[in-house]
A and B are shown apart, each in its own frame.
Chain A
Amino acid sequence: MLTGLKWKRNASLAAAVLLFAAGCGGGQTGQPAETKPAETKPAAGNPSGGQASAGGGDTIKVGILHSLSGTMAISETSLRDAELLAIEEINARGGVLGKKIEAIVEDGASDWPTFAEKAQKLIQKDKVAVIFGGWTSASRKAMLPVVEKLNGLLFYPVQYEGLEASKNIVYTGAAPNQQIVPAVSYLLKQGKKKFFLLGSDYVFPRTANKIIKAQLAAEGGTVVGEEYTPLGHTDYSTVISKIKDAKPDVVFNTLNGDSNVAFFKQLKDAGISAKDVLTISVSIAEEEIRGIGAENLVGHWAVWNYFQTTDTPENKEFVQKFKAKYGPDRVTDDPIEAAYIAVHLWAKAVEKAGSTEVDKVREALKNLEFKAPGGPVKVHPGNQHISKTVRIGEVQPDGQFKEIWNSGGPVEPDPFLESYPWAKGLK
């Protein structure tokens, strides 16, 4: 067996590997995030990378790029499902421009450089007309330079921290002013003035909380505590003690991923229910509730643009189709709906443009409207985000939301929060 010397060496070796593993908890590898320079430029004299797909062949190729393995697979696989459903619908009624849509599905593997690499592969090698993909902001930021350089088109279907507007990206998830800002206003109106901010320690929660703090300062609320825990953190006993001590009116929860499971299980065990301390979450949708357990979440709130229970004729049809295709146990939720919207918006724009060329599609997207399951949406001509209705829901024992408030109509996207005077100093 091993001698003592070797044991020691093993120990330090293991420690080194662990530090490495800990450093890339999000499933990243240590590779630099740089993308290789394009090996094959788009055909000379053709400024649009998406052109090739419009030519020859009986199908139009589109790329789907989500993490199907790794830590983010938990969320992203259902987006792929929604996109494939939408493509199936469009093909069933004859496709676009008389051609069927052919989906090329790639796995981003929860690894940001892989997203950049696969996006490049999809655009250059497969000549896809458009990519539907991403979940984390990191994956979007990795794809952004690729689609900008190759003049590709990316539909990004998840709510995010805002402060971005690329002409090569269409954002179908909520900007902060379509989720966080109205939620804070509503809470203040309900007399909940003392906020406890709890989030995972990365860019989205920190940016979101910066926005919330500025808004609270302007609209008359106070922050009684602010805590960040590492992604994948599993012990919330101390955080819960701090919450108990601070006695907030509401905990604004921007935890992401599996930490939510630990937090809510342990919150309930500590004898704290939604009646004692209300939490409002921005990353917990129907899909996540299934993993956390509805009984741990009953009475807590979440703010989104869509719930499975949203009462529109479009949604009835959408939910029924989704369940018919993927099984009655599956649920729909906000990002799933946003992914579904993305495909339909793109198809509509292509029909309107009469071409899959990126520049023409982008032009056609301006002010394009679509009757989405969560209510009507419209593409903003300037920032390529979409207007959406904001909804706050309360978790019911069956794991579904009961809507307790909505914005009454679509809210215009404002990713840079330019229409809010208190947001001036944020950038």
Chain B
Amino acid sequence: MELLLLQGFNALSVGSVLLLIALGLAFTFGLMGVINMAHGEMIMAGAYVTYVLQLAFTKYLPGAKGAYFLVALPAAFLVAGLLGLLMERLLVRHLYGRPLDTLLATWGVSLMLQQAARTIFGAPNVQVVSPPWLNGGLKVLGAVLPYKRLFILALAVLCVVGISLYLTRTAGGRRIRAVMQSRPMAACMGIATSRVDALTFALGSGLAGVAGAALTLLGPVGPATGTYYIVDAFLVVILGGVGQLLGTVVAALGIGAFNVAFELGSSASIGKVLVLLAIIVFLQWKPSGLFALRTRALD
């Protein structure tokens, strides 16, 4: 019973982590169609922002040390977003419609960012001490549900709700959707499509930054951090159906659940293989993912 409850929670938790790392990619890859291999490094940037803030707080505001994490989330969003903006303006926008070139160029950026991190922060992992108020866990029926995982779950929900409100209820969000669905039409209506591109890319990168800040709670913080998450992020977006937020959510939770179930029944390596196999089979059946965007413009 305890194991079942714990594994159920773990499934949800793994799903929420996947969701968080894939949300940003749902913008850059899902909406814009840019195969952004540097997505992982945006996650890394967010993680390092958290590290730097932790250092700064320890030094200048030792009294409010635990609060650094709350500042880190928006700060990571801003820094990673700015990095993304820079990347879009300088590089990606020249390569729209050339997926192969984008892929190679962003991969190059990814390698450069990794080496930059290595130069600035050193090759070894850095230590991010999680805020004390996130230590420990909630005891439910004998199982311990770590606060950190609950926090990430809540953060993921918050991000999804925030994004869907932004995309459906605000003028900016509607402009993004308009441009992604029909660029010429949106341009005819007076939308500055190039600016919307930049904004969308920055938004996606910023979300990756938030994911990076949150993941310092669970995982390593080092130059290679991004590489651990990039494959999963692409899997989630592709499985969910490119261009679909709902698809991303369902896919993340689905992969999380299957991952945990397979891993419990076999081992971590085999579990991963089984999940990949399941995804491949599924994509044979539904090549455009769980939720295919159907508009005339796309057929």
Contact = CB atoms under 8 A, between A and B. Distances in A.
Contacts of B122: 77
Interface in B28-85: 29, 32-33, 35, 37
Contacts of A233: 228, 268
Nearest to B182: A1
A230 B230 CA distance: 15
B137 A269 contact: yes
Contacts of A290: 124-127
B207 interface: no
Interface string A343-361: 0000000000000000000
Most A CB contacts (10 A, CB to CB) among B13, B35, B136, B259 go to B35
Contacts of B189: none
Interface in A53-88: 68-69, 71, 73-78
A235 B269 contact: no
- Which range contains the number of B residues in contact with the other chain? 35 or more
Interface stretch (A111-119, A258-266, A372-380, A400-408): A258-266
Contacts of B224: 71, 74, 232, 258
A412 interface: no
A227 interface: yes
B229 A234 contact: yes
Contact of A258 (B3, B125, B231, B293): B125
B183 to A, nearest CB: 5
A3 interface: yes
Given A2-B97, A234-B229, A265-B218, A295 B264 contact: no
Contacts of B183: 1
A146 B259 CA distance: 42
B131 interface: no
Nearest to B260: A238
Contacts of B148: 269
A77 B136 CA distance: 35
B128 to A, nearest CB: 8
A29 interface: no
Contacts of B259: 235, 238
A292 B130 CA distance: 12
B31 to A, nearest CB: 9
A6 B124 CA distance: 40
Given A290-B124, A291-B125, A292-B127, A261 B260 contact: no
A261 B219 contact: yes
A8 interface: yes
B192 to A, nearest CB: 14
B263 to A, nearest CB: 4
B3 A241 contact: yes
A294 to B, nearest CB: 8
Main SS of chain A's interface residues? helix
A21 interface: yes
Interface stretch (B86-94, B158-166, B234-242): B234-242
Contacts of B225: 258
Contact of B149 (A9, A77, A269): A269
A232 B268 CA distance: 12
Given A14-B29, A293-B129, A241 B6 contact: yes
Given A237-B13, A241-B3, A291-B127, A230 B272 contact: yes
B259 to A, nearest CB: 8
Contacts of B222: 74, 258, 291
A328 interface: no
25 contacts: A1-B32, A2-B97, A3-B298, A7-B288, A10-B29, A11-B242, A13-B35, A18-B231, A21-B227, A22-B231, A74-B124, A77-B122, A228-B267, A228-B269, A230-B272, A234-B229, A237-B260, A241-B264, A258-B222, A261-B220, A262-B218, A269-B137, A269-B148, A288-B124, A291-B125
Interface of B: 3, 6-7, 10, 13-14, 17, 29, 32-33, 35, 37, 96-97, 99-100, 103, 115, 118, 122-130, 135-137, 144, 146-149, 179-180, 183, 215, 217-225, 227-231, 234-235, 238, 242-243, 259-260, 263-264, 267-269, 271-272, 283, 287-289, 293, 297-299
Given A235-B14, A261-B221, 14 more contacts: A2-B99, A10-B29, A18-B230, A71-B227, A74-B123, A78-B124, A235-B17, A239-B268, A258-B228, A265-B130, A266-B146, A288-B124, A288-B125, A292-B125
